[in-house]
Amino acid sequence: MSAPALHFEFPLSLPINERKADIEHLIQSNQVVIIAGETGSGKTTQLPKMLLSMGRGESGLIGHTQPRRLAARSVAARISSELGCELGSAVGYQVRFTDQVTDQTRLKLMTDGILLAEIQHDRLLKRYDTLIIDEAHERSLNIDFLLGYLRRLLPKRPDLKVIITSATIDVERFSDYFNGAPIIEVEGRSYPVDVQYAPSADDGIELTDQVVDQLGLIDQGHYGKRGDVLVFLPGEREIRDVAKALKGSEQYDVLPLYARLSASEQNRVFQTASRRGIRVVLSTNVAETSLTVPGIRYVIDSGLARISRYSYRSKLQRLPIEPISQASANQRKGRCGRVAEGVCIRLYDEADFQARSEFTDPEIKRTNLAQVILQMRLLRLGDVARFPFIEPPDPRLIRDGFRLLEELGAVDKKQDLTALGYQLARLPLDPRLGRMLVAATDRGVLAEVLLIVSALAVQDPRERPGDKREQSDTAHRRFEDDRSDFLAWINTWRYLETQREELSGNQFKKLCQKEFFNYLRVREWRDTHRQLLLACKANQWRVGPIPAELDYEAIHRSLLTGLLGFIATHHEGPEYEGARQQKLRIFPASTLHKKRQKWLMAAEIVETSQVYARTCAAIEPEWALDINPGLLKHHYYEPRWQMRSGRVMAYQRISLYGLTLVDKQSIHFGPIDPVAAREVFIRDALVAQRLKPAPNFMRHNARLMTEVLELEDKTRRRDLVATEDSLSEFYSDRLPDGVYSGATLGKALKRDGGLNDRLKFSRSQLLVNTLADSDVAQFPDTWEWRELKLRLRYQFEPGKQRDGVTLIVPLALVNRLPRYLPEWLVPGMLQDKLISLVKTLPKRLRKQLVPVPDKVAAAMKVMQPADEPLLQALAQALRKTAGVAINPDDFSEESLEAYYKMNIQILDDQGQIHAEGRDLRTLVESLRSTEHVEQAKVGPAFEKSGGHTQWNFEDLAPQVQFKQAGTLVTSFPALKDSGDSVSVELFDYPETAEVAHRLGLLRLAKTSDRGMVRDLQRHAFRSSEAQKALLSSGVERGILLDAMMSMALLPSLRKPSGELLRTKAEFQNAVAANKRAIIDRTQRYEKVLLQAATHLGEARTTLAKLPSHSELKASERDARQHLERLLAIEHWLDWPEAMFEQLPRYAKGLAWRLGRLQSQLPKDQKAVQTLEPLEQQWREIIGKRPSLAVVCEPVCAYHWMLEEFRVSLFAQQLGTKMPVSEKRLTQQWDKVKQWVIENPL
């Protein structure tokens, strides 16, 4: 198909056409030409036509770049219209995602980004014979990159023509850059502009007030004829402030102008027919070069602008308000001389103007360079720092760009592209947004993230007109999500797509306007989405339908891959802490603005009046952990041995850019720091013996360590055992490197068969200071008393409850503890205790016992540990060895350290502490008869029972044994008399069991054969003589009968050896086989008792008749006590049978004594004095230990001798049954004492 004929016209109304011949000549003669001209000079539309008319575009395309997509489309349409051809034929355009270029095309309009992308596939740009780089004065990243690339390319392409167009800003720099390329300047159609400097005289005056004041002067004609005004303000907030101040002023028609305004609001600026008064256009720097506002006579220049600057320190894209450059000030001035003479009023002074920088910094000096670096790496253009940019970027910005690419995973540590980096470089997107798409592909949410990314890639289609903010906010609120601003895009898309499908094109356009959506931006969003969708499919990424139920986590984890540097955690109030300790707040327009999220991410963080996070969503910090592990900082602390796992564990704190994502996470420390972990393992596992299961060497070491540590506790020293450091050094010297856990130790032991023995301690290695065996023996492990053998535990912890020595007592043995013996502690502690006791004596006594240690040592030689009060024994020993009269009360036992009193620990059958204390008497008394003690005494193999009147229970063993709290407990079963029946009980001691069992057997014999007992008792003591004797003696017949039956039965209830019967068979046979003997004994004992009753009656009568004389008192008291003892029927059973048969003689002797008492009083009194001490010691020992009267033969013999001694003293004529004297009684008493010592209770 032939190329269409083109119609060329070059109207002279456009200033550039006046220089047409000059321009064409320079282009023919030079490879690079710079053309400078103001907006409106016609350079953008006329220059391409000149090139076409010169024959350019024949051997290749004429490429014409524009900074913005909208400009590329509109300029292409305008030129094709002027040439009289259809758009897409001779003149075409290509922007991101739209390609209107055909084989017929000679002139191609495009964004500078498109041309950069083509370099990937056409490194010499062979498709082009001419390139126009338009609006070069904007110095965007893409423009500077293109210029640098072309500078390198031109020597390789001498046929390529390059025309650079610019506003009249710093054009000499372009010329110098291209080796003195010629410049042709095209003058615009303009009129003179008068510059007025009008700084505020008051530094405190607000910018708003300055503007209002100057508008007043213009309205009053102060500067000349009234006319429309263009006011340059730094930002939207300042525009709103001025508009608010002018509200209600009829002389002004106020028109805001800034990029985020709706299309309809922007269009009002170009409608010159004002509704009322002066048109006042309040604009940001968008009106400097991008837009030409018609009909402007006055410019009010604040001298300020928001300039986008990237901070490599804070990683923020800041929008600070700062003074504009001289070039920008001149551009603003030029806005007012288009239709007539103009006036530019600068709200600052001339000196300020002259001090400002000449030109605005190019974008390459104030933005993140990640995308440029990515493209340069893809194109293999070498080191960024050496690339011939027209103005080299700050090296810090280059480093920061690489850091962002590292964050995204696009480059490795060598700054080479990774596989992911190649993917991102080929996507027509900002690297952050591209990273999101790659992650979404992996997580199966590409469709959802694609919508969000396409929205983030274009200008926000939601409009918020200044006069309808509430209405627009309400309209958009229905699309909000409680946790995420990002999801609002999906909700909005769903709604708009549904409406678009249901409505006609015109209806949909009206709906967008009604519901505050910019129709063109919505369309751009859709176009961007479509083209990105095609790019995804080209990469063979599956884009499925968007599900009804959105996967919040998957979507936001995908988005987070591109926003790692834009996470924040709540600090306090509305403030959050972002990456690198940046304090920020949520932007007021965000759904999350009034909510408090623990963690959030933002699409961007921008600094204006404050640092704001925009487009936010709630996240979990853990989501950031697996995105780029190389960015994470790991801090490990508090390494500790964990016995359960057999590892050294540490807490891990994971942070990203100073924000703690995870804290106190337990982690195996060994692989992370083997050396430090080995130290902890040695100290806390091996030395502390906390490795389970313990290897052989550890069990050996533990046993040895226990023995040695016990020595320290026993001797109350802390200098015997080697220190932990020494033991750690022992293991460290022998343990192979890399052993830091139970598992690694096990492997080492398997590899090295001799390692186990090398790791064993010897006693000499553990003991720093040695002890003699004799010293060790002073601290026994057990405490023995009679059949008791109880454990001792030592503890050396001053001030603690169990400091000193503790006696471990099973609950079942509480009642068997000797009362005083624990006061004697153990041999190794006794001397120190005695020395401390002596030091508590009053000074008058203490000074007689110097030196104290020597005096105590001497006293100890005559002291023998026994169940007697220690203070009493010490006082007696000191009196004997030192000759100092000391009473036990002289000592102040309360002043002693607590460890000088044995700690008693009572354990139940589960081994748990039931009671504990150092006051043995209080402790034992509180437990002596408690239910717990009674239950504990029974043991697991014995069952108590009661209510027996027959032998219907098991035979009774002499003793039962069971273990309680690790101690063997021996108890003694016996029958217990319960009055009308018997019970089977356990007793602590054999002698108490013997006493109880004797009475129990007698009761059982009486209840098991009641007929025999009844028959025997029916006729006894029935005679008148017997009645009279009983009456005079005061003895009740029933009690006497019961005692008589007991004495008659008892011999039959013993074995020939004298032991009481303990089996059912023996018992039943004994009663049945001995009835005759029982009857005989009953009859015999009746006679004995009748005789005794007769004499006791006489004695009782005589005693009652004695006069009340003081001289008779001692004898009377003794006689009365003797009478009571003889009448103590319950004790007759304790008497030997031969002694009992002498009861009538003893009664007769008492009666005889009382009958002669008054006549022989001196003799009687002397006898009483002799008897008193002999009887007193007997009464005392029986009072303390009644069972001695039954079980202790020396005591029984002593009692019998006492009765015979009475006969010899008071009734010699009756004679005695044995030789008896005071001396003999004393000798017998020594036998009693020896028996008691040998048989303590």
DSSP string, 479-507: T--SSBSHHHHHHHHHHHHHHHHHS-HHH
What does the pLDDT look like over 1103-1120, one tens digit per residue? 888 888 888 899 999 999
Does 371 share its domain with 292?
no
Considering the domain boundaries, does residue 822 fall inside one?
yes
Instruction: Please determine, for residue 767, whether its predicted confidence score (pLDDT) is greater than 80.
Output: yes
Considering the domain boundaries, does residue 875 fall inside one?
yes
pTM for the whole structure: 0.60
Amino acid letter for position 471: Q
Does 791 share its domain with 823?
yes
- Residue of 41 and 774 predicted with greater confidence: 41
Q: Which pLDDT does position 759 carry in this prediction?
A: 96
Does 166 share its domain with 241?
no
Whether the CB-CB separation of 676 and 657 falls below 8 Å is answered with no
Q: Which pLDDT does position 928 carry in this prediction?
A: 61
32 backbone dihedrals φ, ψ, rounded to 5° = -125, 130
Average pLDDT, the chain: 89
**Closest Cα partner for 746 from 702, 696, 819?**
696
Which parts of 727-884 are beta strand (E)? 782-785, 788-795, 804-810
Average pLDDT of the residues in 100-122? 92
Considering the domain boundaries, does residue 923 fall inside one?
yes
Domain boundary among 869, 894, 927: 927
Does 273 share its domain with 389?
no
Does 177 share its domain with 108?
yes
Average pLDDT of the residues in 203-230? 90
Domain boundary among 167, 186, 205: 186
Output the domain CATH number for residue 81.
Answer: 3.40.50.300
DSSP string, 339-365: SS-EEEEESS-HHHHHHS-SSPPPGGG
Output the domain CATH number for residue 382.
Answer: 1.10.10.2130
Considering the domain boundaries, does residue 1119 fall inside one?
no
Considering the domain boundaries, does residue 876 fall inside one?
yes
Whether the CB-CB separation of 1119 and 1157 falls below 8 Å is answered with yes
Does 606 share its domain with 691?
no
Does 580 share its domain with 483?
yes
Q: Which pLDDT does position 713 carry in this prediction?
A: 87
pLDDT level of residue 6 (50, 70, 90 thresholds): very high
Q: Which pLDDT does position 941 carry in this prediction?
A: 56
Does 376 share its domain with 337?
no
Considering the domain boundaries, does residue 242 fall inside one?
yes
Whether the CB-CB separation of 461 and 517 falls below 8 Å is answered with yes
The structure tokens listed for 554 are 């998957």
What is the Cα–Cα distance from 105 to 858, expressed in whole angstroms? 129
Does 407 share its domain with 417?
no
What does the pLDDT look like over 739-763, one tens digit per residue? 999 999 999 999 999 999 999 999 8
Considering the domain boundaries, does residue 1072 fall inside one?
no
Q: Which pLDDT does position 1096 carry in this prediction?
A: 87
Amino acid letter for position 107: L
Total domain count, the chain: 7
Domain residues for 651?
A: 632-759
Average pLDDT of the residues in 1031-1035? 76
Domain boundary among 927, 952, 980: 927
Q: Which pLDDT does position 535 carry in this prediction?
A: 87
Does 291 share its domain with 311?
yes
DSSP string, 534-573: HHHHHTT----PPPSS--HHHHHHHHHTT-GGGEEEEEET
Considering the domain boundaries, does residue 1068 fall inside one?
no
Instruction: Please determine, for residue 1142, whether its predicted confidence score (pLDDT) is greater than 80.
Output: yes
Q: Which pLDDT does position 505 carry in this prediction?
A: 86
Does 50 share its domain with 83?
yes
pLDDT level of residue 223 (50, 70, 90 thresholds): very high
What is the Cα–Cα distance from 1014 to 458, expressed in whole angstroms? 122
Q: Which pLDDT does position 1043 carry in this prediction?
A: 81
pLDDT level of residue 72 (50, 70, 90 thresholds): confident
- DSSP SS3 for 885: coil
Does 111 share its domain with 173?
yes
